[in-house]
Amino acid sequence: QRFEYKPLSRRKHQIRVLRVKNLGSGGSSSGDVHCTIETVTLKSKPSYRALSYTWGPPEPKFTIYVNDAPFQVSQNLYEFLKAFRGRPEAAEPIWIDQIAINQNDIPERNSQVSKMKNVYVSAKEVIMWLGPGTAQEIRAEAKELAPESLELLQAFANNPYFHRLWVVQEVILAAEIQVLIGDQVLVWDDLYKVFSKHSKKFADESTDMSEPIRAIERLGISRIDHRGIEPSITNIEDHIDCFKAQKCVDPRDKIYGIVGM
């Protein structure tokens, strides 16, 4: 029996959050992924995290279990859930759009999309999922600029995550950001410092990697601006120009994504 959504109350500003069942302190990556889902009201200021990620290709689909009912998710989200369930915070509520929103209910989807700003502003932490991989090299790069690591940085800069429009709003509005790469955690400030260094290094160069690196630096600068430190991007026209290359499936989402900031 497949999972059935219960309607949300728009008047009460309700959202759904998940709890991912942990397989134990060993963090085993085998076995089915099980979650429970609950409804909370934003006005009550619930404590939860929010996931920032890319859906990835629509196929293949992977099966997880929500309230013990089978539920289909994209491969990238499936990989996140497998990595995340081994972490202690997995037992705490997390908002994930692909599951928290009934994607087959267009009115609900539109209503929830209009609340995206509030969802990310209200989250105590945003988890930035960059997919499976290793964070150790990037953490080392935060301390020393190593030319031999340029290919690694290019792989990060070309990660589909950083080309997605909604990421701009999610990163800028986040109170705190935890970067998750595979089963490893990286501090956003460390990641930003690395790309900021390389952006300066390639400021006058026109290479395949210079623009992606500068794009990540712009994301970091906009986050600093939003927090009221050294403001440089002051209006919607500046944001549109700054992030015009970011991609989204529905062109109308560019309006939601930018206005939300």
DSSP the chain: ----PPPPPTTTTEEEEEEEPP--TT----S--EEEEEEEEGGG----EEEE-----S-SEEEEEETTEEEEEEHHHHHHHHHHTTSGGGGS-EE-HHHHS-TT-HHHHHHHHTTHHHHHHH-SEEEEE--SS--HHHHHHTT---GGGHHHHHHHHT-GGGGBHHHHHHHHH-SSEEEEETTEEEEHHHHHHHHHHHHHHTTT---TTHHHHHHHHHHHHHHHHHTTSS----SHHHHHHHTTT-B-SSTTHHHHHHHT-
pLDDT at 69: 97
pLDDT at 27: 41
Q: What is the pTM of this model?
A: 0.79
pLDDT at 261: 47
pLDDT at 197: 73
Length of the chain: 261
> Do the Cβ atoms of 35 and 64 come closer than 8 Å?
yes
pLDDT along the chain (261 residues), means of 10: 92 95 58 95 96 93 96 96 92 97 96 93 95 65 53 71 83 91 83 73 59 73 66 48 48 49 47
| Exposure of 160 in the CB half-sphere (CA atoms within 13 A) | 8
User: Given CA atoms 45, 49, 54, 57 in this order, what sign does their dihedral have?
Assistant: negative
Residue type present at position 158: N
pLDDT at 196: 74
pLDDT at 73: 98
Distance CA 1, CA 69 (A): 6
With tokens 């050294």, the residue in question is 230
